[in-house]
Structure 1
Amino acid sequence: MVRVGLGALSAVNLWWGGWALIAPRHFFDTFPGFGRHWTAGYPPYNQHLVSDLGAIFVTLGVLLAAAAILNDARVTTVVLAGVLTFNALHLAFHAVHHGTLTGFDLVASLASLAAGVLAPVALLILARRRAPGAVGAAPR
């Protein structure tokens, strides 16, 4: 389950990062898609910042993929701690700064950011339980 979760998180980060790097204006105007425009709720558009965000997402995606492939408890823990740090700081900013988002878009964006915090926490818990000899690991 941990490797599947790492792979899923990797795919999402690589998708978002690639999108932001290849088409930063489109990403800004239409993220997350499905007729929603969450990133555009924080004007003005800045290609440099959107491209930097894309680079962050791609970096996280590569690290998550490496953790999934290597299947090493220490690597998994370090990568998920990094992802959790970014996601928690990202959520903290948006919890205070709503841009022009209101109603459904505000609630949905905050819920998705909260899921981005909960997912690595859940994977850390699962990884801790499966790691042989890990402190606090459940016996096999």
Structure 2
Amino acid sequence: MTAVSTTVHRILLALLAVTGVLVGSWAYFAPKHWYDTFPGLGLRWLPQLGPYNEHFVKDVGAFYLGLTVLSVCAFVYIANATLVRVAAGAWTVFNLLHLVFHVQMLHMYEPRDQVLNVIALSTVLLVSLALLLPQRAPTP
């Protein structure tokens, strides 16, 4: 299996942490706005999936923020390969199940939004999977 540098792992963790803090903060602290306007840029992907529920939306935000904390800890303690793998595993499980759900719901979207959903969710899944690659041993 290909080993990657700790710099690559830090970049992947940073990408996941940024995703987590942006989505998590938005959903938790502005739940109705997040529900009505996610993912932004004039797109609206949530209303067609069901009615607004503040409890559910805040739980989503809290979950993303929890994953952010895990990602930041793995970023700081990058030499702890177990912690990095735990972060990778947690994100991978979430991202895979999230993608599977949304693929089953693609019929609710216009073609442009179908493609963008698959691209966005596949990208974060690939980032979390890449984080599972072992770290290259540091050179003396």
TM-score of the aligned structures, taking structure 2 as reference length: 0.87
Counterparts in 2 of 1:44-63, with a 5 A limit?
44-63=51-70
SS at match of 2:132: helix
Map residues 87-102 of structure 1 onto 2, 5 A cutoff: 87-98=95-106, 100-102=108-110
C-alpha displacement of 1:40: 2.2
Aligned residues: 132
Deviation of 1:84 (Å) = 0.2
CA displacement, residues 72-119 of structure 1 (integer Å, 9 cap, x when unaligned): 111000111011001101111111123631210111012111112111
Letter in 1 for 2:123: A
TM-score where L is the length of structure 1: 0.87
Higher relative contact order (CA 8 A, sep 6+): 2
SS in 1 for 2:106: coil
Aligned twin of 1:4: 11
Alignment RMSD, CA only? Answer: 1.7
Contact 1:42/1:99 (8 A) holds in 2: no
Maintained 8 Å contact 1:31/1:37: yes
Partner of 2:136: 130
Identify unmatched segments of 5+ residues in structure 2. Answer: 1-7
**Corresponding residue number in structure 1 for 2:5:** none
Equivalent in the alignment of 2:3: none
Counterparts of 2:10 and 2:104, CA distance in 1: 33
For residues 1-140 of structure 1, what are the structure 2 equivalents within 5 Å? 1-71=8-78, 72-98=80-106, 100-125=108-133, 128-131=134-137
The one-character-per-residue Cα deviations of 1:27-59 (angstroms, maximum 9, x if unpaired) are 001111111111223121111111111011101
Distance 1:27 1:99, change over 3 A: farther
Instruction: Point out where structure 1 has 5 or more consecutive residues left out of the alignment.
Output: 133-138
Stretches (4+) displaced over 6 A: none
% identity of equivalent residues: 36
